[in-house]
Chain A
Amino acid sequence: MKCSDFLKELTDYLDNDMDSRSRSELEEHLRWCHNCYVVCNTTKSTIEIYRGSELYELPEELRGRLQAAILSRCKCQHSATAAPAMDPDPAIDPAIDHSKKPSQP
């Protein structure tokens, strides 16, 4: 097996998405090819570091505001659907709804 063949299979190997025979062939290659062993090991570490990184966690305070804004917009939508003759309720939190521009006079 060539190193390029090993690399093509790396994702399936790391995800354990292959039959045992193919897996054994890749592991045989790993036994003697130090470069592929290092690439495989460090790619696995890359995934684990990102998975455990808690990058971009949603702060509780912002979470509360977002939930309130979402539910307010859903309720508004619900009332508009239930009573289409009525004017829609404009009670949307403008402080958090960046997509809504202030209404012009």
Chain B
Amino acid sequence: MEAIENKGTEVPDAESLLVEAARGGDIAAFEALVRRYDRNVFRIAQHITQNREDAEDVVQDAFLKAYQNLGQFQGQSKFYTWLVRIAVNEALMRLRRRRPERMVSIDEDLKTEEDSMPREIADWSPNPEQQYTQAELKEILGKTIQGLPPSFRTVFVLRDVEGLSTEETAAALELSVPAVKSRLLRARLQLRERLNKYFKRRDGDTTP
């Protein structure tokens, strides 16, 4: 079985020039950085907060905070990883405000292994996503990922949706690499389990 290709986050050299110019007060350079990453920040924010209005606020506040603190950006990590760290913190803060009754933390780590152990072993139909319209599929995927604990959801989104490396994800979330791997495995297995009911092979499926 082939490994999954990671699309990675290649950053051209020009980016450090943009960051340097923005640090010097060049708004046009910062605008270029906003255009480069606003879609990513919005996706991450919406995944974590599960709320459109909060996601819009997170995009604004994360970029503003990045702009205000460019002087503290050391350049040892990629600008995008640094920006993601700011955005994740903003998003978790919004989530805590919406759910004050629940402790929401990236350090949250459910202790039981059983939560991720496969219970139903069912093969899926070939191209299972094609059984649904685009709108139905989005609803299924949105509903399914929403059920994950925020700490698992965040790791899955950064690593598997946004394509950050394990090390970049660890740096962005200030977690150890083993902690990222542990959450990622459990997030992947839990999502797989939850998607079974939509994608498993039906009796009528004849394609091997």
Q: Residues 185-207 of chain B: 1 if any A CB is under 8 Å from the residue's CB, otherwise 0?
A: 10011011001100100000000
Do B25 and A78 touch (CB < 8 A)? yes
B30 contact set on A, CB distance < 8 A: 71, 74
A87 vs B121: C-alpha distance when bound (angstroms): 64
**Interface hit among B9-17, B79-87, B100-108, B134-142:** B134-142
Contact (Cβ within 8 A) A66 B59: yes
Determine whether the beta carbon of B181 is less than 8 Å from that of A12. yes
Number of B residues whose C-beta is below 8 Å from A?
57
Report the separation of the CA atoms of residues A11 and B199 in the bound assembly, to the nearest whole angstrom: 21
Which residues 88-105 of A have a CB within 8 angstroms of B?
A: 96-99
Q: What per-residue 1/0 map shows which CB atoms of B170-188 lie under 8 Å from chain A? A: 0000000000010011001
A-B contact number at CB 8 A: 150
Tell whether, in the assembled complex, residue B27 and residue A74 are in contact, meaning their CB atoms are under 8 Å apart.
Answer: yes
Q: How far is the CB of B49 from chain A (nearest CB, A)?
A: 10
Other A-B pairs beyond A35-B118, A45-B128, A51-B7, 6, CB < 8 Å = A7-B118, A10-B188, A44-B4, A50-B161, A63-B38, A98-B56
Chain B residues close to A by CB (< 8 Å): 1, 3-4, 6-7, 25, 27, 30-31, 34-35, 38-39, 42-43, 46-47, 53-57, 59-61, 63-64, 67-68, 117-118, 121-124, 128-129, 137-138, 141-142, 145, 156, 160-161, 163, 166, 181, 184-185, 188-189, 191-192, 195-196, 199
Tell me which residues across on chain A come within 8 A of B39, comparing CB atoms: 57-58, 63
Q: Does residue A20 face the partner (Cβ distance < 8 Å to B)?
A: no
B1 contacts which of A27, A48, A51, A62 (Cβ < 8 Å)? A27
Name the residue on A nearest B45 (C-beta). A56
Pick the contact of A98 from B47, B57, B189 — CB < 8 Å?
B57
CA distance A10 to B68 in the complex (A): 41
- Write the nearest CB–CB distance from B154 to chain A, whole angstroms: 14
Contacts of A39 in B (CB 8 A): 118, 121, 189, 192
Residues of A within 8 Å of B64, CB to CB, are 70, 73-74, 77
